[in-house]
Structure 1
């Protein structure tokens, strides 16, 4: 059987900027561009990834930590930007018109031999999307900035060989934090972010046996702890490698196979 694989890495993950790389030997995409063009280039270079393989940027929603490097990065490399109509309307800057491609719910877009499916998610943004990237039967999901795990997310999560999954806050840490009441309610109110508890419930209930990697993403600086969330998920991993994506630096590159023969470099 021709075993197709995907290379994945988090270039940054958190309220200070989000950018995720998914690709194969020939082409790749970025999901979100929330760090500067220069920093994106530096981090990719450090882990042996080439911007020349990146063929498109997919934008999840309009919040600054997902788009602040977008205009420069897309213009410099002439990269098409796949973005929903609502997200584009909510952006406070102008993307080059010739680079704009519209996203539609459950539409699959072909980027070389990569297939990218976007679907609507629950978040307090104008028209927010999650993504699943396929190369053959190998599937990777990017599931961050989620208030609740909707049916579509569960459906796609159950098919993924690896996923970036939000684990934004610990309930007790958020409750005790100095955040104002309205912000606490915004984060935890069902349209904000996914807690450790809710992310773990999704993972432990719907994780497929063949999921080789889980990259816990978008951790809060003030209301979560990398060691806490790593320990929590490792207890329920059942063979899945648990990685906590950093707010400050890139991860290594992980290679995802179907069937799930696990490698990394």
Structure 2
């Protein structure tokens, strides 16, 4: 059974980029870091862009596409992006590298199967993703205004997931944001609160979910220790990781129900049981 290697290169309103791959190929979900910073963080982790075969874009907000033009052009990476997202993004991509994004069925990237589904967010045509190989499923679920059946059903399949836990309700209410921005964040088209994310985790977590990456935490309206403690109390066998807005996470290795951890995923002999 093949293994998945996954990391958050960055997660937050200052940039989002997630790497999911196996021994032969990988994809990036979003490209919100500069090309140079993406390359630098991957190098530190022992990952190579030579294995990345495509970039999938969730929506057109700058923290998800900031580095896309340069990254795609420099490394000749196909970009899977919906027509609505492309139209509203202002991106100048090489037409030869643009691929349509559809919810009709998974896209095959080597042995990886990438599925897109619609989500609630204040963007033109926003999508979330799963990356699977027939044995293992990884979810990337951020920038979500509210939980829907699409999200719940995909979450139930995942062995690991990046799940948004953007804000604490009390910190948001008492914080410095103006009322219109608070309303946007919690209004059903913005972001998931810690409480909403936890409810999804408790109600829909499959028994085989080994790792949960709490993602897209607000710098102003959340606290990593607060949200980690909140989820750890309900985690049982699921390992809780905070996807930082300041640096990359280590690379985690997931193979069905067998999970391992490493900073050097290419050297399988160095992997150890978590």
Deviation at 1:107, TM superposition (A): 2.2
TM-score of the two chains, using structure 1 as the length reference: 0.98
CA distance in 2 between partners of 1:104 and 1:8 (Å): 23
Partners of 1:249 and 1:23 lie apart in 2 by 19
Q: Deviations over 1:91-114 (max 9, x none)?
A: 122111111001112421000010
1:95 to 93, 96, 119: 93
**Residue 27 of structure 1 pairs with residue 30 of structure 2:** no
Displacement, 1:136? 2.4
Deviations 1:109-132 (A, max 9, x none): 000010000011110000000000
CA contact (8 A) 1:148 1:190 kept: yes
Residue pair 1:168, 1:217 contacting (<8 A) in 2 also: yes
How many positions carry a matched residue from both structures?
A: 262
The separation in 1 between residues aligned to 2:243 and 2:161, in whole angstroms, is 11
Structure 2: 5+ residue stretches without partners = 263-274
Partner residue of 1:118 out of 112, 116, 119: 116
Residue 153 of structure 2 is matched in structure 1 by 155
Match of 2:261 among 255, 261, 264: 264
Aligned positions of 1:28-177 closer than 5 A:
28-177=26-175
Is the CA contact (8 Å cut-off) linking 1:24 and 1:135 kept in structure 2?
Answer: no
Task: Name the structure 2 match of 1:250.
Answer: 248
Q: Which residue of 2 aligns with 1:201?
A: 199
What residue is the counterpart of 2:268 in the other structure? none
Q: Does the aligned pair in 2 maintain the 1:9–1:251 contact within 8 Å? A: yes
User: Please, what is the CA RMSD of the aligned residues?
Assistant: 0.6
Residues 191-243 of structure 1, C-alpha deviations (whole Å, 9 max, x = no match): 00000000000001100010000000000000000000000000000100000
Q: Equivalent residue of 2:132, what SS? A: strand
Cα deviation digits, residues 59-85 of structure 1 (max 9, x gap) = 000000000000000000100000011
Structure 1 residue runs of 4+, over 4 Å off? none
- SS where residue 262 of structure 1 aligns? strand
